[in-house]
Structures are given as C-alpha cells and as structure tokens.
Amino acid sequence: MPSLPRPTLSATALVASILALAGCAAPAASAPQASTDGAYPVTVTDCGEQVQIDRRPERVLTVGTAAVELLDAAGASSAISARTAEFGADLPTTLTAAPSDDLILDPADPTTESIVGATPDLVFGYGLFTADPAQVKAAGIPVLTVQGECGHDATTATEAVDLGTITADVRRLGTVFGTEATADDAADALDARVAAASRPSTGESTAWVYYFSSEDPLSSYGSTGMPAAVLTAAGLTNVYADQSDVYLTVSAESLLQAQPTWLVLTYGLYGETAEQAREKLLAEPGIAQLDAVKAGRIVLVSADTSSPSPAAVSGLEQIVAGTNG
C-alpha cells in the first residue's frame, strides 16, 4: 500500500486547529506520571527507535486487526477506544476479550484529523498512510508500530521478522500496559505452539495467494514479511522466495511456470467467504491448469493468519495440517 502525499499545513497549525474544533485544549507539558506500581515512565523499542510511554495508556486507537489481536493477547484490549483500518475483515473468534464493533471509527486508514479528534493517548497499528505520524505526535499522542510491520508505511525502518517477532511484541505490550504476567503467559503459550507445529523442509513448494479487494488482481507474498516466515516454519518452499518485496502482484502464467505443489489461499480480506475466494481464484484464466488445482491441493486460511499477530500461529498450524496429506 503506497504512502499518500503529506499535507502541506504545518504540524503546529494543523494540530491546533483540530484541537480547537474538537473543543479541547492542546495537551500541556507535564512531568511523567507513574502507574500505581511505580512502573512508569517506560521506554520501549519501536522499529529501531526508542519511544517513551509516560503513563499506562487508557485510550488506544488501533490501526488494523493485528493491533487488536496483540493487545488482546497482552491483556490490554480493554484500553481500545477506537478501531480503524480493518477494511471489513472479521476479528478472530478466539480473542479473550473482543472489543465492540461500536468502536470502529473508520474501516479504512485514519486521517490525522480523525486520530486527533478521537483523543487517544496511544496509536498502535501497522503504520499511518493517510495520517502524518509527525502531526499525530505533535498532538502529544505516542505512536507504536506492530513490530512485524516495520517499514510497511515507509516512515519506519524495515526489520527482519519471524514468528518470534509476534511473541516479542506481546511481551513488549505487557511492559507498556503493566500486564506483564498475562502477556508473558500468552507469549509462552504461542512459542510452545510454534515449536510444536514447525517442521523441517518437506521438499514441497507453495504460493500463498490472495485478493486485497474484489477489484484487485491476484497477489502473493515474497521472501520477507510474516507470510514468508510462516511458510518457512511449515517446511514449504515459497515459489516467490526470489522476490524481496512482501506484497506481489502475480499472474497465472508465473504460477504455471513455477507449478507449486500447494496453493495457500487467503479469504476474508474484504469480507469474502472461503468459497467466494476459491471461486474467484478458479475463475482466473489458466489457473485450472495448475497441478495443485487439478489435485485439489488448496489450503484456505483466514485473512488474519497473514498478519504479524497471534493468528499467524493458527495459520501455521492450519497450513501444516492441510499439507500433511
């Protein structure tokens, strides 16, 4: 997803005008406030940068479903006050304390105005595309990035990811919200599931394909990002491993040339069912000629399994189970 042009209005002027319209004063500078256990302020690493959190966040605006899942795993989903950028995708049914859909502020990427107007004390998600991070921070709102998405929005440094990135992020959020015990237990459980599901190379290949929307072309994943890490843990060779980009537009011709042993197909990115996703794929000219399609070697996984969140562990388990036969 490309970064959109940044507004030319100065950060100070824009923030001041937004706060005035929202009927609230700009936040005054104050000394950091400690939590009841004296743990604050805390400083955490975010895409290679240090971010200080002065007090326990109580009003979090999330960007994307992965942020919601990670906060839930860390025992902090009760702090979510606004949800954005989920694009109609469903949250996993396995969440411990799912936030209400009434909190959805914008199904798409939030603007600077909508973020500041929602008065969060923390923004957490896959990055900001329509909003300007500098202007959000100028309003006194810290921004944290889902660590598996570093580099996604071109304002943060890209970092290598694996399934351990997810559990490290859960533990990091435990530090931010003072829920270390809950977060550590959840991370330990996820680490154990990854260890149990992972397998050595099977010698078989795959392509993990998806449609970002009903109008977008067939896409797949390259050699970086969480989907690549999941496929590696599943013991499968990604036929697009020679592509350094995370997100790729692909063709039936390239798949026919590669002839992957298996196809992993995402459904639900824009609200489509598994059967609708399958029908859309099979309607692609030439796809029926794939050996994997002829043999019925298609594994369907929900949209959240490709994100750097606990759902990726479920995706690993589903892919391993689906490709064992």
| Domain endpoint, select from 137, 172, 194 | 194
Residue 301 lies in domain = 200-322
| Domain endpoint, select from 142, 175, 194 | 194
Looking at residue 38, its pLDDT comes to: 47
* 259 and 224 within one domain: yes
Kindly state the greatest CA–CA separation across the chain. Answer: 66
Residue 70: which of 152, 154, 186 has the closest Cα?
Answer: 186
User: pLDDT digit of tens for each residue in the chain (325 aa)?
Assistant: 333 333 333 444 444 444 444 444 333 333 333 333 548 999 999 999 999 999 999 999 999 999 999 999 999 999 999 999 999 888 999 999 999 999 999 999 999 999 999 999 999 999 999 999 999 999 999 999 999 999 988 889 888 899 999 999 999 999 999 999 999 999 999 999 999 999 999 999 999 999 999 999 999 999 999 999 999 999 999 999 999 999 999 999 999 999 999 999 999 988 899 999 999 999 999 999 999 999 999 999 999 999 999 999 999 999 999 999 7
* 135 and 241 within one domain: no
In a domain? residue 313: yes
* 216 and 164 within one domain: no
* 204 and 311 within one domain: yes
Looking at residue 21, its pLDDT comes to: 40
Looking at residue 46, its pLDDT comes to: 97
* 185 and 75 within one domain: yes
Q: How many domains does the chain have?
A: 2
In a domain? residue 170: yes
* 210 and 94 within one domain: no
* 141 and 45 within one domain: yes
Looking at residue 90, its pLDDT comes to: 87
Looking at residue 271, its pLDDT comes to: 87
| Domain endpoint, select from 160, 194, 228 | 194
Looking at residue 2, its pLDDT comes to: 32
* 167 and 149 within one domain: yes
In a domain? residue 19: no
In a domain? residue 4: no
d(CA 316, CA 163): 10
* Partners of residue 206 on adjacent β-strands: 238, 262
* 174 and 59 within one domain: yes
In a domain? residue 183: yes
Contact 265, 301 (CB under 8 A): yes
* 223 and 121 within one domain: no
* 42 and 190 within one domain: yes
CB-based contacts of 278, cutoff 8 Å, min separation 6? 265, 267, 298, 300
* 178 and 229 within one domain: no
Write out pLDDT tens, residues 224-271. 999 999 999 999 999 999 999 999 999 999 999 999 999 999 999 888
Q: Treating both helix axes as pointing N-terminal to C-terminal, what angle do 311-322 and 180-197 enclose, rounded to 10 degrees? A: 10
The CATH number that applies at residue 161 is 3.40.50.1980
In a domain? residue 101: yes
Looking at residue 144, its pLDDT comes to: 98
In a domain? residue 26: no
In a domain? residue 242: yes
